[in-house]
Structure 1
Amino acid sequence: MKPFYRLIIPFLILGAFLFIVGCSSNNDNLSTLETVLENTFTGPDQKLNKLLDDPDNLTAVGANAETKNSETPTELDLYLEEMYQPHFTEDMYSEYVGEYAFSYQAKQGDKLKILKLILSIAGAGFALFILTTKSFEFMPYMLLVLGVSSLFTGVSELQKDKKAFWGYMNIIVSLFVFFVSIQGFLLN
């Protein structure tokens, strides 16, 4: 029985040591990670949007295009350095800003796309529920959700300004669906 304890006790002590060391955290690394994730995934703030839209912050590179002097940083460069430089080494900062900093930034039209997707899924969910349960009292809710989804589709098409006809058509259809939905609420 003693050889068994001689094998188990060192492993238990080692496991307890690793558990204690693994549970202790370095608050500096944790706060750095939280800051970078928050800055990356919360989307661009108003200042960053203005800097991204400013043509002075663009660099054109090509055969006939003029390039700016890279020795003087732009306002966008200074802003990104302020936001991310304290949290990275120089090499990692350059790699992060070059490849990852704007990968997850929400653009202005993305929020509308996400809202349209959520409303479309909700409308399909209502339709599936109505079809499976044969409970048609939820039909006005489904029509209301699909009307709002169609309205957002029309607005986004008008913002693109590519297909103005289909944007107006979606808005007209959504108004008709709203009318039918309101009638459904009144008749129930």
Structure 2
Amino acid sequence: MLKALQLILSIVTVGLALYIMLTYSYQFLSFLNILLGLTMLVLGAIEWQKRKKTSAWLLFLVALVSWFFGIYCMII
């Protein structure tokens, strides 16, 4: 189930990134950061299940930083 969620989130994230790049519409960058954070969270959960705790904690940290900047840019 996590692999399917990872695939869906990755496709949506890449699609949004391509849309932003092709249309020069930077108003969706905060949503892109939040989607990247969700993708990193799912990747961290997959690594946690594989018993790779160090890489899982690093991915969780990257997800938190990405969410922080995404929400911060939405507020401003």
TM interval, shorter chain, is over 0.9
Measured in 2, the distance between the counterparts of 1:123 and 1:185 equals 17
Runs of 4+ in 1 over 2 A off after TM superposition: none
Alignment correspondent of 1:164:
53
Measured in 1, the distance between the counterparts of 2:74 and 2:9 equals 19
For residues 81-136 of structure 1, give each alpha carbon's deviation from its aligned partner in whole angstroms, at most 9, with x where no partner exists. Answer: xxxxxxxxxxxxxxxxxxxxxxxxxxxxxx11100111011111111000000000
Alignment correspondent of 1:176:
65
Q: Point out which structure has higher relative CO (alpha carbons under 8 A, 6+ apart).
A: 2
For residues 53-102 of structure 1, give each alpha carbon's deviation from its aligned partner in whole angstroms, at most 9, with x where no partner exists. Answer: xxxxxxxxxxxxxxxxxxxxxxxxxxxxxxxxxxxxxxxxxxxxxxxxxx
Gaps of 5+ in 2: none
Structure 1 vs Structure 2 CA RMSD: 0.7
Gaps of 5+ in 1: 1-110
TM-score by structure 2 length?
0.96
Measured in 2, the distance between the counterparts of 1:125 and 1:172 equals 24
Is the CA contact 1:144–1:178 (under 8 Å) kept in the aligned structure 2? Answer: yes
Match of 1:122 among 12, 17, 26: 12
Measured in 1, the distance between the counterparts of 2:32 and 2:17 equals 7
1:142 corresponds to 2:32: yes
- Following TM superposition, by how much is the alpha carbon of 1:164 offset from its aligned partner in structure 2, in angstroms? 1.2
Measured in 1, the distance between the counterparts of 2:33 and 2:4 equals 19
Alignment correspondent of 1:22:
none
TM-score by structure 1 length?
0.40
1:1-188 counterparts in 2 under 5 A? 111-161=1-51, 163-187=52-76
Instruction: Tell me the number of residue pairs that the alignment of Structure 1 and Structure 2 aligns.
Output: 76
